[in-house]
Structure 1
């Protein structure tokens, strides 16, 4: 099988990176329904020769489906979400969406840049979460290209949008390789200094979304010797706390159910389970390296998450309370899925010791991450 070499170039070159896929990967573009106001939604499905496929919506640049075979060849969708594209707008809960401008929490909804303080919407009690009340997940993106196993979507965010400075021109490129690796490349250019932190918010269950067993018997590995512990508002304190000897030690792999309800650890109590950023040992890298590995012993499916970013937020769906009716009319509850979100550290604009989220004119933002879905041998 002939492979084209991926080229990692910032800014506009992210589209070139997204061309890295096997020749057999296919692309299908189609209508996907309408929003309540009649606005049309489109979808692009990318399919690899090994049976792995991904469906992307223009609403929220959302990864609606990620499907792949188990050890018996049975295909299942492993992403929580909705069957109807319009439900992502009607019942928002970040399922599979592109989040920005700033993924995760900014404490107090404010930060200071070059001596000026910016106030953001408080959509998470006293914090700003995932870009504010109308983040990138609630926008209709436009398809720039869709061919050869790849799709690029674009969005323009005006200066002052949700309180953030600078006009931002954003792209997200999804590319499917023939081995089932889905690369997601984020790029952004600004006309004035700002902060940017983008990721995908997929929530996974490798047994198949809606599986009654949930994810508590699935095994997770995260190569991180420290987390960024949080306060009562789930904002990092600024400390890097070693995971050794705690329920946050996933370096050698552990079942998610071993610690998700262990109230002996105050961090689990505050997060209502796992909802924490892990400081990856690899740090910030030029090319994607392993951030997390999830394994389901029953189906044999394996998900490897790689990224160029220094952190990964692990979230066990703690606020899923049965009020979200997802695909196939499944009632989603806590523990039904796990999010593994590569990113800069939460509240980075207010923590000088964290890797900077600053982006300047002429120095585009880039984040390249990979979801590789496979079957254990």
Structure 2
């Protein structure tokens, strides 16, 4: 590994915000910043040895301060939707902001994607960001201490590790909202890229965009994704669930017998991105909706693929609620690895 490079990325009010770039001896690069514990660059080679950033991003810090798609940001303390924006824990009802129809989405506008983390530890291959959320902040009980580590291995593997502990029972279900475009060109759509999911099926969404109880492994589009298929063929299909979301925006149950949860491939560049995780659920999102600001920055819809590893959305209202309850004094740790290679 080469020596980490610290660069001024911008300012929030009067505070300087730096980015941190890690590079392997073979040329893989990772750049992260403390605002939102956000990935800025993940630079990988194609089959001809040409390097490009495969993570969608904005060029200026100011652009990240505008409500947008959370490019590369950490999401939490609870990723995904919470039905009706409320939950009950230990006999007490907590009301959260409803920022997605009647749901709370990605912990609302005060989620960790807008937190200015501290840099707690920095090495030539990793950075650990730290933040603390006060009791009641964003509607969640606390206080909660959160550590997020981004690390780059010599073979180019990007590992994201999330750790948390709390003084009282609360919820914790983080993820990262990176959008990957394996061509390295944000203007290119992902339709010709191939996606193979090692899952047992997907959870259909109800009218409130919340996952239903029953896993569907038989629908035609799920069978194609499990076998491996071009993304465009799925997102343009006439299946009611695809029409409902405007593309893929669904939770999939990861097959615990498989080492990888997903394999994402660009036949033209030869880039292959493999996702490995200790989480049970993978949210696949084909960038179906961007706001006008994001489009004005040169990002057309469907130009990236988000592969979000987490517990199932709305778990607190389901049998899986134990996966998202962080008990007082408990130390939780989860991690996801993105392996970028060529085929």
Smaller-chain TM-score bracket: over 0.9
Matched length: 342
Query: Which of residues 201, 216, 227 in structure 1 aligns to 2:202?
Result: 227
Residue 355 of structure 1 and its aligned partner are, at CA, apart by 5.7
Q: What does 1:27-66 correspond to in 2, within 5 Å?
A: 27-35=4-12, 37-66=13-42
Q: In 2, distance between residues paired with 1:173 and 1:209?
A: 27
Does structure 2 conserve the Cα–Cα contact (< 8 Å) formed by 1:79 and 1:202? yes
TM-score (norm 1): 0.87
CA distance 1:151–1:54, shift in 2 (3 Å): same
Q: Which residue of 2 aligns with 1:217?
A: 192
Aligned counterpart, 2:220:
246
- Of 316, 319, 328, 2:286 maps to 316
**Alpha-carbon distance between aligned partners in 2 of 1:248 and 1:179, rounded to the nearest angstrom:** 32
1:350 aligned residue: 317
Higher helix share: 2
Query: 202, 219, 237: which one pairs with 1:262?
Result: 237
Matches within 5 A, 1:26-175: 26-35=3-12, 37-175=13-151
Asked if 1 retains the 8 angstrom alpha-carbon contact of 2:44 and 2:53, the reply is yes
Q: Secondary structure at the match of 1:267?
A: helix
Partner of 1:8: none
**Alignment partner of 2:272 out of 297, 302, 314:** 302
CA drift of 1:49 comes to 2.1
Residue number among 176, 188, 191 corresponding to 1:200 in the alignment: 176
- 1:280 pairs, out of 232, 254, 260, with 254
Q: 1:105 to 1:219 in 2, by over 3 A?
A: same
> What secondary structure does 1:87 align onto?
helix
SS in 2 for 1:42: strand
Would you identify which runs of 4 or more consecutive aligned residues in structure 1 move more than 4 Å? none
List gaps (5 residues or longer) in structure 2.
none
Cα distance, 1:148 vs structure 2: 2.7
Match status 1:375 vs 2:342:
yes
Residues 1:61 and 1:335: Cα distance change in structure 2 (over 3 Å): same
Question: 1:38: how far off?
Answer: 2.9
Task: Check conservation: 2:68, 2:293, Cα contact below 8 A.
Answer: no
Secondary structure of 2:49's aligned partner: coil
Q: CA deviation at 1:86?
A: 2.3
> Post-superposition shift, 1:238?
2.2
- Structure 2 CA distance for partners of 1:354 and 1:251, relative to 1, 3 Å: farther
Deviation at 1:322, TM superposition (A): 5.4
Matches of 1:295 and 1:71 in 2, distance apart? 12
Cα separation, 2, equivalents of 1:114 and 1:31: 45
Query: 1:241 is paired with a residue of what secondary structure?
Result: coil
CA shift in 2, pair 1:215/1:354, >3 Å: farther
Q: Does 1:334 align with 2:308?
A: no
1:39 CA displacement = 2.7
CA distance, structure 2, for counterparts of residue 325 and residue 85 of structure 1? 17
Contact 1:238 1:353 in 2 (8 A): no
In the alignment, structure 1 segments of 5+ residues that lack a partner are 1-23
Question: By how many angstroms is 1:289 displaced?
Answer: 4.1
Which digits, 9 at most, give the CA deviation of each residue in 1:55-89, with x for residues without a partner?
10111000011111111121111111101122111
Matched, 1:361 2:328: yes
CA contact (8 A) 2:187 2:299 kept: no
Distance 1:46 1:353 in 2: 37
1:333 aligned counterpart, secondary structure: coil
SS of residue paired to 1:282: coil
Superposed displacement of residue 320, structure 1: 2.1
CA contact (8 A) 1:228 1:241 kept: yes
Q: Hey, what does 1:15 align to over in structure 2? A: none
Kept after mapping to 2: 8 A contact 1:95/1:201: yes
